[in-house]
Amino acid sequence: MAQPQLIAALGSSYAAGPGIEPVDNAAAMRSAHNYAHLLAARLDARLVDLSVSGATTETILDSAQTTMTGARFAPQIDGLPADTDIITVTAGGNDLQFAGSMLAAAWHSHDPHSPWAQMLNEMVANGIPTLTDADVERAADGLARIVSESRRRAPQARVILVDYLTALGDRTRPGVDVPFPAEDLVALLRIQTALRDAHRRAAERSGAELLAASALGEGHELGAQEPWVFNFAPEPERTAASFHPNLAGMTAIAGTLAELLDQGDRPQ
């Protein structure tokens, strides 16, 4: 394809990049150095970054999103320009309560009586969820719907699903690299695997391309020599960035996306 002139980014915090300076939009907890910004700079393309931390597939498609600070965002898809060339999508984690469960487990172990622990316990009221195949199917359907609606609104766009960078793995030591115990780590690894599976199913269902950041990040999870995600941060002003991609992780994703785009259009 020709050099893209306009890139649009849809997604949740793993796209937005909380905790990475400089900040692009504080209310969205969105960084000016997330993978979409880094890709646009590399390609000298314009960027419409619609990602918002805490987004679900529903708030990307159908419903307004109100953040923990009270900021309100229209459905992300409503801001998608019709002349977009490249659309990246990273979502589904909040559908499956991945980041929220990690943060809740961390605070429960670190300081169970803190305001953060109490708030997160309310958000993840039943603890770390035990997901069913139906849960994974719903997330996959939501992602596939985002692809379909993106193509409808921007017919010439190349839509790329970018799944979640690996946060936890075999090198991650409970109580050392993460504050929570082994049983929580096992439960969270199951959600991480389910999230990877949801993106794979959505790509197969929709025909979208899939950049498997989950595979890219293997060997860079917490506990590795060079992790591509932030450690748990107990400081209130930084805690929302815990377990999310850091600048090295975002840079790796942007570079791999650029390589994928250099290959031209994928045969349909």
Residue 174: inside a domain: no
pLDDT above 70 (res 41): yes
pLDDT above 50 (res 201): yes
**What amino acid is encoded at 125 in this protein?**
A
What pLDDT does residue 267 have? 39
Residue 116: inside a domain: no
The average pLDDT across 31-43 equals: 98
pLDDT above 50 (res 268): no
Instruction: Specify the pTM.
Output: 0.95
Residue 110: inside a domain: no
The strand pair at 30-31 and 209-211 is best described as unpaired
Give me the domain span that covers residue 238: 6-94+132-168+195-262
Task: Residue 86: name the closest of 14, 35, 18 by CA.
Answer: 35
Interior/surface letters 67-90, b for 16+ CB within 10 angstroms, e for the rest: eeeeeebebbbeebeeebbbbbbb
Residue 117: inside a domain: no
- Total number of domains constituting the chain: 1
pLDDT above 80 (res 122): no
pLDDT above 80 (res 27): yes
The average pLDDT across 7-31 equals: 98
CATH number of domain containing 57: 3.40.50.1110
Place 265 in a pLDDT band, splitting at 50, 70 and 90: low
Residue 143: inside a domain: yes
What pLDDT does residue 129 have? 93
Which of the given ranges, 1-5, 46-50, 105-109, has the highest pLDDT on average?
A: 46-50
pLDDT above 60 (res 116): yes
The average confidence (pLDDT) of the chain is 95
The 3-state secondary structure of 168-216 reads CCCCCCECCCECCCHHHHHHHHHHHHHHHHHHHHHHHHHCCEEECHHHH
Place 263 in a pLDDT band, splitting at 50, 70 and 90: confident
Q: Where are the alpha helices (DSSP H) in 10-111?
A: 13-16, 35-43, 57-61, 98-110
Residue 173: inside a domain: no
Give 43-100 pLDDT, tens digit per residue. 999 999 999 999 999 999 999 999 988 999 999 999 999 999 999 999 999 999 999 9
What pLDDT does residue 1 have? 55
The average pLDDT across 202-214 equals: 97
What pLDDT does residue 3 have? 84
Residue 114: inside a domain: no
What pLDDT does residue 28 have? 97
Give 151-175 pLDDT, tens digit per residue. 999 999 999 999 999 999 999 999 9
Q: Is 64 helix (H, G, I), strand (E, B) or coil?
A: coil
In the 8-state DSSP scheme, what is residue 245? B
Residue 160: inside a domain: yes
